Structure 1
Amino acid sequence: MTGFQEPPFKKVKNENGFSSDVSNDGQQCFKSNNGYIMKNNIQNGGPYSKQCAGTIGLEKSGATQNAGHMKKILKQRHSLPIFPARQKLLEELKKNDCVIVIGETGSGKTTQIPQYIHEERWDRKGTICITQPRRVAALSIAKRVAEEMNTNLGALVGYSVRFEESVSSATKLKYVTDGMLLREAISDPLLSKYSWIILDEAHERTVSTDVLFGIVKAAQSNRNCPDKDPLKVIIMSATMDVDHFSNYFNNAPVLYLEGRQHPIEMFYAKQKQDDYVLSTMSTVFQIHKESPAQHDILVFLTGQEEIDSVAHSIRQVAKDLSLAEFPKLRVHPLYAALPSHQQLDVFRETAPGERKVIISTNIAETSITIPGIKYVVDSGRVKIRSFNPSSGFDVLKVKKISQAQAWQRTGRAGREAAGYCYRGYTQEEFRAMALNPVPEILRSNLASVILQLLAVGVKNILNFDFIDKPSPDSVREAVEQLSVIGAIIASSDNLELTPAGRRMAQFPLEPRYAKAILCGPEHGCTDEVLTIVAVLASETIFVNPSGKKELAIRARQKFHSVEGDHITMLKIFRAFKSSKENKMWCHENFLNYRNLSYAVEVRRQLVQICQRCNIPVLSCQQNLEPVRRCLTAGLFTSVAELQIDGKYLTLSSKQECSIHPASVLFGGKPAYVLFTDLVHTGKAYMHINSIVDADWLYEVAPEYFRTRHIKKVCSAVGS
């Protein structure tokens, strides 16, 4: 294996990251912070090691299951670690209004606890709502639970994710993304249709999850009176800062569900690795030479380009004649922007005499489970986006993971059988890691959050009961953004939504995109703006296969517009519709069929919201200048000006930046560029750009471009 040196590892046997209690007879316990609740033999395994496999590209659940199949499912449910603790768990849930449940991955808490509550008929006065941070998890788990309960998806068990819903009046178990529950709270702050709310995967700490903590806590308090039905709350995770959460939720009891995992052998690097990518690759080949065929490997790296590069390198090295005696390697990348048929490849069974190597982002930490994984190789790195309120930058950086993330990754190796985890960092480096990742709300643009809080009825943002309060600077920056687009006004010491702001809050979009849609009728191009916003709401529509990127770029040149990337996207969408949404047409033009189809559905939903808000959907046909004018009305704070030295400076914060090489405007020097995102990856790049006219800027926001500062609004949230 030329060019690689195998990193030395030291072994730590059967280490795990959970507070497991094991009695002398090998039994394990279910306990609370008040003492042991139950001790019972817990069987190995369980059916849910495969429950998320194939979750991308889901099919609807069948209506009826035969008796033999249902008997098998019941047996699987009873084999789960959670089952022996069922009765004691229910006793704790009954006597407490709020409970925190910590359970190892695969214990069955997400699928079983809602069913236990339903079986006790504790949902007679309302629905059980279970939140998930990611749509793929909400969809896949709802499908699995519907199968276990022998019902159609959308009947007794349903789901609601952004731009997609399957529920009915009969739905009692509803799996939703946290963002969708937050949107429901806008029209119903008491969340009165629910009798139980289960906040699952709480450790992921998305922005929506953190806001939901405060909303649900307030709703529960406000419903704690004789004339209202009480609300029960369960917070669940595999790992979290339990003291922090318990204190926040009024000293809620913490229940530990401890099932026996398959043993996992740990290997740490003996010394710090200077090049984590090279170390990861050499570890893969070290495993490849020592383990039998069909023992598959899951590798954690940081991003699409890195993963594609490593996948290509591993394939090339695997062709070396010195490796001919070892199993054949099948290398599969896995990241969110990958076309669905390639994502599904990771779930296919490994053929005899072969080995599957999946190279993934952190999407494989919790959202999906890949069957057959025997080995995990953890680089110890993740790519994190952080918003800098002073510069307006989204900084995309590779950083070290937290200990909680490390344990999540380790657990991927022990889902079906005994496994192995190779950590590309030393034990000392592991101990120096943060215990938990930085919550997203502390590193994000808060404009959408504040708009939603105001829509729910929160007047004083700084006094909102956040579990971790964002910085005043982040709040002030977001308030200024909302003010300049006309979404809010300052009133004494509080903030209030304008009529336009209330309409913006109806859209599950960033406020600036909602503003552009509201300006559509004025410019006669609502139809076109809806299309562009729908495409931006999906993952990338472009496919750039490794080794074929130049071919892909040439194939798409016929869609390029000199006006910029937004009009290029519009032309692609129109051509896709003209092809009658043909999958082969997408393949020939290196376009992502799944994401374009998703954009079609998103657009349909946005049109419905426009109709509900009485916004006329007008079209400008082939005269597309009004489209760029309309986008400017929403995104005028995201414009850069060409300088004499050939560089660009953002008008809002005077940050130096460049047009991204993937943009159709790359290589040109338009005087003013409107950008969708400003991302710092080594240098600052403007992503998804359009040419705009300076006169348009002063037409849509004359005061903003004269003063660049909104003093009145900033004083409403503190100096």
Structure 2
Amino acid sequence: MESRPPPAKRLKTSVWGSGQRRSYVFGHGMEQQRRELPIYRARAKLIGQLRYLDTAIIIGETGSGKTTQIPQFLYEACIGGYGVIGITQPRRVAAISLAARVAEEKKSELGTLIGYTVRFEDVSSHKSKIKFVTDGMLLREAMLDPLLRRYSVVILDEAHERTVQTDVLFGIVKSAQRKRKELNKMSLKVIVMSATMDVDLFSQYFNQAPVLYLEGRQHSIQIFYTKEPQTDYLHASLVSIFQIHQEAPSSHNVLVFLTGQEEIEAMSRTCRQIAKNLPQGSCQMTVYPLYASLPHLQQLRVFQPGQKDCRKVILSTNIAETSVTIPGIKYVVDTGMVKAKRYNPESGLEVLAVQQVSKAQAWQRAGRAGRQRSGICYRLYTEEEFEKFLNMTVPEMQRCNLANVMLQLLAIGVPNILTFDFISKPSPDAMRAAIEQLKQLGAVKHKDNQIFLTVLGKKMAAFPLEPRFSKTLLVSSEFHCTEEILTIVSLLSVDSVLYSPRAQQEEVLSARRKFISSEGDHMTLLNMYHAFKSVQGQKEWCRENFVNSRNMMMVMEVRRQLRDICLKLGISLDSSRSDTGNIRRCLAHSLFLNAAELQLDGSYVSLDSRHPVAIHPSSVLFHSKPSYILYNELIHTSKCYMRDLCVVDPEWLYEAAPEYFRRKLKGAKT
């Protein structure tokens, strides 16, 4: 461990540019692997320092072992006394897989000494002393106990990702730490962990907390840049894949970072086609896509050993950027691009668009090549371009809709949400827009220049959902359709249950035709869920109908938990049966901020901002022209597309929020 980050060692090459290298030997056996992690050499010194620090910032490269080992070091050294050591993760898959790994290392059954809690899944018990949690779930715990009394240590991991929930947690744990000290309660130790060297902000925020640097990574990684800027990163990716394929041994697998499902599927087809036509005797290639909506069994294929003398090429979104170790990866090809959401509080539009990664993301991607052996990362941009990248990803807090954040802070009991101690304060416009949305939904009210939760708002905060979906469930009993709304909200709260491979579009359309509703995607999804239940979730039925069976099973679990919350809140669990009008009317009463109106020229505009929007080609309404529709989200590619649509009557919208629509809705009866 050093007091300063180790200097990078540069190696010049004639092909791509410059590289960085450090090497370590990889051992065998669980305990042997632990001992050969770079962090293990710093164990004694690290424990010695953490024992006496209230707050520390720990910086260590991807692969140094900080996430799995530091919680164990603290537990083994009895740092934290009788409380729980909590480790937050931005992603559920990371929380689950890390907990499983640490349980394996401790030879403990998952859910006993080592546990995890993610949204809609809790595998922990009163025996759990090391607990991996998604940052959102720790925030929900803070709603019930703002002092987080169960915890003696909170480790905020992957801090450089700057997710909105992690940013809020910074403020919550800082406040809990201070208040516990003021009340002479058991102290709370806060550890912030990051893979990036840009940590001044973290240190300053936590009152000049000391920064501890962990030297080294487990295996060497060499970085190569292009000599010239690339105008087409997809073409450059293809060239790089086959350059590696022609020159490297077949056991060296390749991970390529692309931006989304469509790019990945198109590249998969192209790679397979080219591989078929390579000269006889060439190494074989198997191409695996990896993205969030891919069926779980197909995701698992990337982790399985490849065939002998056959190279694995994995084409992935940023799902593989952190915490996931894919075996056998020797090469990483980084396009330098990612799809990210950005919210404009002035227009009210939240759009998903392709943009450049940050330096922190680029280093995370490179780190995937050095997990099990020395590796190489090809960056499809020049070193000069890389130097112009932002050091860190723009915090999600500064580019998202803050309605849920404001609701959570009010539920936790923050006295003045407008002056909350954010590590990176969002714009006043974004905060005002969020409060206005909550006001439109009936969740907040103003009194004496303060903002308070209404009775409805307190109930909304009880659900681990976006405010609009919480409202949907809470008003569903008025329309006697709670059972159907539970299903629809659950379907919209997990990754897509639909799997639509482009190579089989005709089969997909044919299979889906029997479920299609002219009333929109929500009703179509509801039909599919009922059909799935009627065949008791048969896997063969799922394959035939291109339904992601694992995600559909998750829908059932989410629905069960939301149903339990409804029962606790005294919501009547009625069913509308065949009356779909009541379901759509209920949706209009909660999703009215996401409404669009057909124009005379056949185009659509959003009612809130009058911004041009279009029906996404994947929607069942793509060839229809209903006068008024609700949408779940907007995606910006060549234009602003609406996804997950529902046909509604203008009268329902006006009935839901008369004051709001008096100025928004053309032609509504007053």
Deviates more, 1:529-538 or 1:546-555: 546-555
**Is residue 382 from structure 1 mapped to residue 332 from structure 2 by the alignment?**
no
Within-5 A mapping of 1:111-510: 111-225=68-182, 227-322=184-279, 324-510=280-466
Give the letter for the 2:416 counterpart.
N
Offset of residue 707 of structure 1: 4.3
The one-letter amino acid paired with 1:635 is L
Report the CA distance between 1:183 and its aligned residue. 0.7
- Describe the superposition over 1:522-555 as per-residue Cα deviations: whole angstroms up to 9, x where unpaired: 1000110010000001111111123102211110
Farther-moved stretch of structure 1 (106-115 vs 301-310) = 106-115
- Give 3-state SS (helix, strand or coil) of 2:38's partner: coil
Partner Cα distance (1:149, 1:198) in 2: 19
Paired AA for residue 181 in structure 1: L
Q: TM-score if structure 2 supplies the norm length? A: 0.95
Match of 1:86 in 2: 43
- Picking from 511, 514, 527, the partner of 1:558 is 514
Identity percentage of aligned residues: 54
> How far does the alpha carbon of each residue in 1:435-468 deviate from its partner, in whole angstroms, 9 at most, with x for none?
1111111110100000001101123222111110
**Is 1:14 paired with 2:20?**
yes
CA distance in 1 between counterparts of 2:253 and 2:236 reads 18
Deviations 1:1-52 (A, max 9, x none): xxxxxxx932424357xxxxxxxxxxxxxxxxxxxxxxxxx953367xxxxx
**SS of residue in 2 equivalent to 1:338:** coil
The aligned counterpart of 1:645 is 601
Q: Which secondary structure state, in structure 2, belongs to the residue aligned with residue 239 of structure 1?
A: coil
Aligned-residue offset at 1:604: 0.5
One-letter identity of the residue aligned with 1:689: L
> What residue is the counterpart of 2:611 in the other structure?
655
Contact 2:401 2:434 in 1 (8 A): yes
Per the alignment, do residues 280 and 321 of structure 1 end up closer, same or farther by CA in structure 2, a change over 3 Å counting? closer
Distance apart, 1:73 and its partner CA? 2.3
Matching residue of 1:611 = 567
**How many residue pairs get matched?**
652
Q: 1: CA distance between counterparts of 2:36 and 2:21?
A: 24
CA distance in 1, matches of 2:487, 2:227: 53
The code of the aligned residue for 2:222 comes to E
8 Å CA contact retained: 1:329, 1:354 = yes
1: CA distance, partners of 2:338 / 2:515: 34
Counterpart in 1 of 2:649? 693
CA distance in 2, matches of 1:670, 1:459: 45
Contact residue 77 and residue 83 of structure 1 kept, 8 A: yes
- C-alpha offsets along residues 328-368 of structure 1, whole Å, 9 cap, x if unaligned? 01001111111111111111112221101001111111031
Which of 2, 22, 26 is matched with 1:45 structurally?
Answer: 26
The aligned residue for residue 666 of structure 1 is: 622
- Structure 1 gaps of 5+ residues are 1-7, 17-41, 48-71, 710-719
**Counterpart Cα distance in 2 of 1:427 and 1:227:** 52
Contact 1:117–1:123 at 8 Å: present in 2 too?
yes
Find the residue that maps to 1:9 and give its secondary structure. coil
Q: CA RMSD in A?
A: 1.5
* Matched residue SS, 2:230: coil
* Cα distance between partner residues in 2 of 1:241 and 1:498: 41
Greater shift in the superposed pair: 532-541 or 650-659: 650-659
Is the 1:100–1:235 contact (alpha carbons within 8 Å) kept by the matching residues of 2? Answer: yes
1:594 equivalenced with 2:550 (yes/no): yes
Distance 1:74 1:45 in 2: 12
Picking from 651, 657, 660, the partner of 1:704 is 660
Residue of structure 2 equivalent to 1:73: 30
Q: How does 1:572-591 map to 2 (within 5 A)?
A: 572-591=528-547
Give 1:216's aligned amino acid. V
Question: 502, 525, 531: which one pairs with 2:487?
Answer: 531
Cα distance in structure 2, aligned partners of 1:598 and 1:367? 22
Deviation string for 1:654-680 (max 9, x for gaps)?
Answer: 111111111111111111111111222
Q: C-alpha distance in 2, partners of 1:403/1:336?
A: 23
Q: Which moved more, 1:126-135 or 1:253-262?
A: 253-262
More displaced 10-residue stretch of structure 1: 673-682 or 284-293: 673-682
Moved more, 150-159 or 225-234: 225-234
8 Å contact kept, 1:459–1:496? no
Alignment of 1:54-69 (within 5 A): none
Q: Distance in 1 between matches of 2:16 and 2:547?
A: 45
Unaligned runs of 5+ in 2: 1-13, 666-670
Q: Measured at CA, do residues 656 and 267 of structure 1 come closer, stay the same or move farther in structure 2, by a change above 3 Å?
A: same
Contact 2:352 2:634 in 1 (8 A): no
The answer on whether the counterparts of 1:44 and 1:260 sit within 8 Å (CA) in structure 2 is: no
The alpha-carbon deviation at position 85 of structure 1 amounts to 1.4
Which consecutive aligned stretches of 4+ in structure 1 deviate over 4 angstroms post-superposition? none
Contact 1:135/1:161, CA 8 A, preserved across alignment: yes
Structure 1, residues 148-169: CA drift from partner, whole Å, max 9, x if none? 2122111111110000001111
Q: Is the 1:295–1:373 Cα contact (8 Å) retained in structure 2?
A: yes
CA contact (8 A) 2:116 2:132 kept: yes
C-alpha displacement of 1:292: 1.4
Residue identity in the other structure for 2:230: Q
- Secondary structure class of the residue paired with 1:215: helix
**Alignment-mate amino acid for residue 528 of structure 1:** E
